[in-house]
Amino acid sequence: MTVENIKIKDIEIPIAIKSYKNAKTIKIYFKGNNLTITKPKRFSNKKLTEILKENEDDIYSKYIKICESKMTTIKQWQTGEFIYYKGEKFIINRQYIDKQKIIINIDEKQKEIIIIVPKEINQEEIKTNVDKAIKKIFKANTEHIISKRLPYWSKITELEYNQVKIRDAITRYGSCMPSKKNIYFSSRLIMLPEYVIDAIIVHELCHLKYKNHSKEFYELVSKYIPNYKDIDKWLKINGKIILF
């Protein structure tokens, strides 16, 4: 892997280039604020430069949006901030106790996430520990919903999988390894509406039959999720809600 900076217009963007022997296509996407490129080993640097030049407007606009979103999505877990849970906006309610422990409760009726922290604790410690705790809770809740919805859609589509893993990913909602029939999901899916989670599950299941995003692939996805195009557009617009 090669890590360097690339200058596009008036800014320098961190770029990571990964070459794979078995890769068949080039992929360009952002992982955090790093522009990540995966490509076949035989793919020349000259051709890569041409592709980046052709897509520089799109890359530039995406990078600016990522930088802007960081200003609004980084949580300090203060009262009045909000975070999404099951597709709805939950308000943060921070409270204090004398005990040396952090407690987090999700009140779905009031749409609140109650964060109880020790009185004698600094903000840096609060952020670090609450970040970890929220991620742990969201992962457990994502695992719960996937354990219900994945078998359901596997039965409906008649597409069988072997293993499923939940990981803290923010650039991909899901991915799969067709050769091993393993499927991976972001631990933050619980932040999305259930119908969107269903679409992501079906998307990954269909990759077990079609490895790429071919016409046949999308036809298969749309067979089970007729409004998939609308959901995909929604994710492109609202995808940043899983960031914190």
* CA separation for the pair 242, 244 (Å, rounded): 7
The fold adopted by the segment(s) 141-242 is: Zincin-like (3.30.2010)
Number of helical H runs and strand E runs in the chain = 6, 11
pLDDT for 73 equals: 64
Identify the CA nearest to 37 among candidates 58, 60, 20. Answer: 20
pLDDT tens for the 244 residues of the chain, in order? 444 678 787 677 878 888 888 888 888 888 877 788 888 888 888 888 888 888 888 888 887 777 656 555 678 898 888 999 999 999 999 999 998 899 999 999 999 999 999 988 888 889 999 999 999 999 999 999 999 999 999 999 999 999 999 999 888 899 999 999 999 999 999 999 999 999 999 999 999 999 989 999 999 999 999 999 999 999 988 888 898 8
Task: Locate the domains of the chain by residue range.
Answer: 2-71, 82-134, 141-242
Instruction: Look at strands 2-8 and 11-20 and give their pairing.
Output: antiparallel
pTM score of the predicted model? 0.71
Condensed to tens digits (0 to 9), the pLDDT of residues 32-46 reads 777 888 888 888 888
